[in-house]
Amino acid sequence: MDSSFASEMAGLFLEEVEDQLHIMEQEILRLERDGASDETVQNLFRAAHTLKGSSAVMGFDEMKRLTHEMEHVLDQVRNRRLGVSTKLVDLLFQCLDHLRTLKEQFMAGSGIFVEIGAIVHELRNYAFGSEDQPERPKEAAIGEAVLCMEDPETWAKVRNAQDQGFSVYDIQVRLVPDCPMKSVRAWMIGHRLRSLGEMLLTHPPGLEELEDAEENGTVFDEESWPSELRYLLACQTTALHVEETLLTISDVAGVRVTPFPVWQREGAPVSAAAAPAVGAPAGAAPADGSAAGGASGASAHEGTGAANGGGAGAVPAAEKRKARTIRVDVERLEHLMNLVGELVIDQTRIHQVGSVLHHLYAADETVDELVQVSDHLARVIGELQESVMKVRMLPIDQLFSRFPRMVRDLAQSLNKEIDLVIEGRETELDRTVIEEIGDPLIHLIRNAIDHGIEPAEERKRKGKPAKGRLRIAAAHEENQVVITVEDDGAGIDVDKIKHSALRKGLISEEELKKLSDPEALRLIFLPGFSTASSVTDISGRGVGMDIVRAHIEKLSGVIDIDSRPGEGTRFTIKLPLTLAIITGLLIRLSDRMFVVPMSSVMEIVRVPPEAIQTIKGDAVVVIREQVVPVVWLHDVFRIPRMRETKRQLPIIVVGTADKRMALVVDELVGNQEIVVKSLGSYVGKINGISGATILGDGQVALILEVGGIGRWREMRAGRAS
Amino acid sequence: MAGNASRAGFVKLRVMIVDDAAFMRMVLRRILESAGHEVVGEAADGNEAVEKYVELKPDLVTMDITMPNKDGIEATRVIRAIDPNAKILMTSAMGQEAMVKQAVLSGAYDFVVKPVDEERFLRAVAKVCGERIMPSQGSGHVVAGQ
């Protein structure tokens, strides 16, 4: 289950709890005011039942247990085996309060104990009362034992220890709020207590087993450890000694040791002097279930009160946890990001103004101060930007977790055996990128399963393992995310691609001859290309690799392919971490500024003008023995070219997907973090421009979309021929 | 063992610092000394710690876990074998949960987590020797020296 789903579920659950508690309250009030009517009881029963179901789904045991008992009592009321009394109304109100507290505990992510043992016990008593069952003495003690005393085994242990003359203590330990290594601390406290006597029970459960767990190398989740620990210890020392022993352990903020009441053989409680709870009427005869129950109920409340009130440290800790996860509307985040973007722009401007002033009034201290403040502001804004970006990041597992099921189904329908390997689930990237990259990835995966990986028999014939391997991986590489989809299937036959492209008229024979194998492979990204000889259910629904490429380019990403016949195919997708702020290369054409996203820039070279040659009317330049088509950006934007008087022309080699281009510009200005702004709906989509930004001096610079420029070149070339 | 009650409720302790990082030793020394304790010795690994413990008999040892030659867990075990009353306070880095437990099983009295928070560290130090300053415990507030 991915985390967003879990938190969504938790959100729904809490809403439902709130609704049902509201209904309960209304109905209990009605019950009290109007007496029992079938409808009221039925409504109450239904509310308890609904809560029981959903809390069970959420694994929220306490709530499930409590609602289960409520349901049981209400069922008997419904069947007229139980009457309605003030006692029942009181009980139901108490249940309601407990449920509210439980809900708060759930929201806070635990940390405070809600003791439902007492109330559960009382509900049972009430139900038992109707069935005329004699009260069992051990049951009467449950209220006092706030731990899971219903467990007969624990009860037997307590009795056994007491019979042997041991004192049994209920020990509450509160840790300091920011206690590090809580699990170890809790274990150590347990360890220290065990040196005093025998541990009967711990909360959180399993503390006594940590010694073994440690040997198994189990790692405990520190976050989820409560700050309040509870132990049930049988020993022969005084409560004071236990308390003092614990107080010599660091990070222990408070200790409360309560002696457990001793039960005599006949079953009447002999309250230990220090036991605050069973100081109730001494004549609380075992048979009088309600009285004993009432007393124990009160004690439990007191216990909670003490834990809350005394635990001044614990409550803020719980609140801190609550604040740790909040659900925020995505739009608010977008807005925040926008504001940060504005700040970045303004800061750049302040910086620029500052340096101008610095030049003009070098001796002025005030200007120095301005520069200093501006520098500090730049750092703060930088951090702010990073934090906001992080908030927008999600692990790619959100997407990857959809794949195993899909791959399984596909493999089954195609009768292939596939081993899916997913790596780098935790890689984080911008949520908008995650949303957008899903479809192209699914397409690549389908392709790999459908066309890439061969059926088992064929694989065996080729001497490959029968099970095909599909690897989907994500990783951070510098400022990019690299996603790989790799199969060990048949690979792509370059000759077949070439023929197919030729047949479809996507490329001329001469052009074909010039293509290297890797270049020929990239032909599959051309619109209208599909290698599948037949259209199958799975891929080849007319949606080809060109769509995949277009999708990725829209995200300012690059897709590359590598394939070896017989060995497999690998697609590599490189994506920017975020789309909101990018590193851009500032360039100047005549007097206008433009930005080329750094993610598209492959290299920057300077060449003499004569290095640019013309082959069949197309300008090209040879860079590292590769012929690269040349585009004067001036032509694209109809800006007059500078007279080529320079000895060296700055050239930016850009590449998206399958194409490399050399862009001639007038001047390279430098790298800069830029905030991407859309052009707005009134301008609409412009080929070759993906957005705009505001520079330090207030100038607007257009951000180039390299793919669009490539298309522009192709169009022009097509017209010329 | 010597402890001089100079202020009410305060026991000046003779402490030995064991840590392979000189910087960490310096930090701990500064904290301890500024609180009025005496740092009687320092050791950079487990072997040295055992040797110096025998020589110095400090009231308290702060013990790093990961060290060359002999680690803090082993050193703790050896020192406790030599002196079952030795008070050893582990200084652990985050993520060493399992090792902290081993150290406690080897006889370490308590642990603090690095980076060391001054106040918390001193509280832990005071608590380690708390058995001797706890009024209700035993006969006197301060156990008399040799």
The alpha carbon of residue A185 is apart from the nearest alpha carbon of chain B, in Å, by 9
Contact A247 B94 (CB under 8 A): no
What are the residues whose beta carbons fall under 8 Å from the beta carbon of A333, sequence distance 6 or more? A388, A391, A392
- Chain B contact for A195, CB < 8 A? no
- Chain A contact for B141, CB < 8 A? no
3-state secondary structure of A287: coil
Sorting pLDDT into bands at 50, 70 and 90, what band is A572? very high
Average pLDDT over residues B11-16: 89
E strand map for A375-528: 393-395, 418-423, 428-430, 468-477, 480-487
- Report whether pLDDT(A472) > 80: yes
Q: Mind listing the pLDDT tens digit for each residue in A574-595?
A: 887 766 677 889 999 888 899 9
The alpha carbon of residue B115 is apart from the nearest alpha carbon of chain A, in Å, by 11
Q: Mind listing the pLDDT tens digit for each residue in A698-715?
A: 788 999 888 788 888 877
Tell me which of A16, A25, A32, A49 is the catalytic residue: A49
Q: Residue B76: what pLDDT?
A: 94
Residue with the bigger pLDDT between A111 and A309: it is: A111
Place of tokens 């992080």: A390
Residue with the bigger pLDDT between B63 and A196: it is: B63
Rounded to whole angstroms, the Cα distance separating A571 from A567 reads 14
Residue with the bigger pLDDT between A83 and B83: it is: B83
**Residue A98 known to be catalytic:** no
Helices (DSSP H) in chain B: which residue ranges? 22-34, 46-56, 72-82, 97-105, 118-128, 130-133
- Chain B contact for A212, CB < 8 A? no
Prior bond to A608 cis, omega within 30?
A: no
Q: Residue A707: what pLDDT?
A: 78
Nearest to B113 among A180, A247, A249 (CB): A180
The phi, psi pair for A693, rounded to 5°, reads: -145, 165
Average pLDDT over residues A648-676: 82
Among A28, A82, A81, A72, residue whose Cα is nearest residue A52: A72
Torsion of CA A655, A661, A665, A670, to 10 degrees: 20
Q: Residue A269: what pLDDT?
A: 40
- Report whether pLDDT(A283) > 70: no
- Report whether pLDDT(B89) > 90: yes
Q: Residue B33: what pLDDT?
A: 92
Place of tokens 């050239």: A651
Tell me which of A27, A62, A69, A71 is the catalytic residue: A71
| Beta carbons of A249 and B108 less than 8 angstroms apart | no
SS (HEC) of A565-615: CCCEEEEEEEEECCCCEEEEEEEEECCEEEEEEHHHEEEEEEECHHHEEEE
Among A399, A348, A323, residue whose Cα is nearest residue A584: A348
CA nearest to A247 within chain B: B127
Query: Which of B111, B114, B118, B131 to mutate to test binding with chain A, by most A CBs within 10 Å of its CB?
Result: B111
Maximum mean pLDDT: which of A113-127, A289-303, A398-412, B74-88:
B74-88
Residues of B in contact with A207 (CB under 8 A): none
User: How many C-beta neighbours within 10 Å does residue B48 have?
Assistant: 18
Average pLDDT over residues A107-119: 65
Query: Which of A189, A193, A249, A250 to mutate to test binding with chain B, by most B CBs within 10 Å of its CB?
Result: A250
Residues of A in contact with B111 (CB under 8 A): 181, 184, 188, 250
β-sheet bridge partners, residue A672: A584
| DSSP structural state of residue A643 | P
3-state secondary structure of A175: strand
Contact A211 B101 (CB under 8 A): yes
Task: Name the least confident of A149-163, A216-230, A480-494.
Answer: A216-230
Sorting pLDDT into bands at 50, 70 and 90, what band is A272? very low
What domains appear along chain B, each with residue ranges and CATH number?
12-128 (3.40.50.2300)
**Residue A49 known to be catalytic:** yes
Task: Name the least confident of A180-194, A603-617, A652-666.
Answer: A652-666
Sorting pLDDT into bands at 50, 70 and 90, what band is A644? low
- Report whether pLDDT(A214) > 70: no
Query: Which of A248, A252, A255, A257 to mutate to test binding with chain B, by most B CBs within 10 Å of its CB?
Result: A248
- Chain B contact for A243, CB < 8 A? no
Q: Residue A148: what pLDDT?
A: 42
Residues of B in contact with A217 (CB under 8 A): 98
Average pLDDT over residues B42-53: 93
Residues of B in contact with A180 (CB under 8 A): 94, 113
Residue with the bigger pLDDT between A444 and A311: it is: A444
Rounded to whole angstroms, the Cα distance separating A251 from A178 reads 9
Mean pLDDT over each residue of chain A, to the nearest integer? 75
Among A81, A101, A99, residue whose Cα is nearest residue A91: A99
Kindly state the percentage of chain A with pLDDT values over 90: 4
Residues of A in contact with B101 (CB under 8 A): 184, 187-188, 210-211, 214
Average pLDDT over residues A540-556: 71
Nearest to B94 among A180, A187, A247 (CB): A180
Q: Residue B28: what pLDDT?
A: 92
Average pLDDT over residues A409-435: 84
Interior/surface letters A72-93, b for 16+ CB within 10 angstroms, e for the rest: ebbbbbbeeebebeebbbebbe
Nearest to A191 among B104, B112, B113 (CB): B104
β-sheet bridge partners, residue A395: A428
Sorting pLDDT into bands at 50, 70 and 90, what band is A619? confident
- Chain A contact for B104, CB < 8 A? yes
Q: Residue B77: what pLDDT?
A: 93
- Chain A contact for B88, CB < 8 A? no
Sorting pLDDT into bands at 50, 70 and 90, what band is A4? low
Place of tokens 């799975």: A538
Place of tokens 């190398």: A217
- Report whether pLDDT(A535) > 90: no
Query: Which of B110, B114, B129 to mutate to test binding with chain A, by most A CBs within 10 Å of its CB?
Result: B110
Rounded alpha-carbon distances, angstroms, from residue A207 to A154, A188, A203, B110: 15, 9, 7, 17
- Report whether pLDDT(A285) > 70: no
Rounded to whole angstroms, the Cα distance separating A561 from A545 reads 11
Residues of A in contact with B102 (CB under 8 A): 214
Give the pair of three-digit tokens for residue B32: 């301890």
Average pLDDT over residues A139-165: 59
Residues of A in contact with B87 (CB under 8 A): none
Sorting pLDDT into bands at 50, 70 and 90, what band is B108? very high
Long-range contacts of A153-158 (CB under 8 A, 24+ apart): A154/A200, A154/A201, A154/A232, A157/A200, A157/A201, A157/A234, A158/A200, A158/A232, A158/A234, A158/A260
Task: Name the least confident of A174-188, A262-276, A423-437.
Answer: A262-276
Rounded to whole angstroms, the Cα distance separating A498 from A35 reads 86
Contact A181 B92 (CB under 8 A): yes
Task: Name the least confident of A54-68, A97-111, A667-681.
Answer: A97-111
Rounded to whole angstroms, the Cα distance separating A532 from A96 reads 64
SS (HEC) of A670-716: EEEEEECECCCCCCCCECCEEEEEECCCCCEEEEECHHHHHHHHHHH
3-state secondary structure of A480: strand
Q: Mind listing the pLDDT tens digit for each residue in A324-373?
A: 567 677 788 878 888 888 888 888 888 888 888 888 888 888 888 888 88
Average pLDDT over residues A662-682: 83
- Report whether pLDDT(A471) > 90: yes
| Beta carbons of A143 and A300 less than 8 angstroms apart | yes
Rounded to whole angstroms, the Cα distance separating B84 from A473 reads 54
Sorting pLDDT into bands at 50, 70 and 90, what band is B15? very high
| Beta carbons of A316 and A177 less than 8 angstroms apart | yes
Q: Residue B88: what pLDDT?
A: 94
Q: Mind listing the pLDDT tens digit for each residue in A369-403?
A: 888 888 899 889 888 887 887 787 888 887 888 78
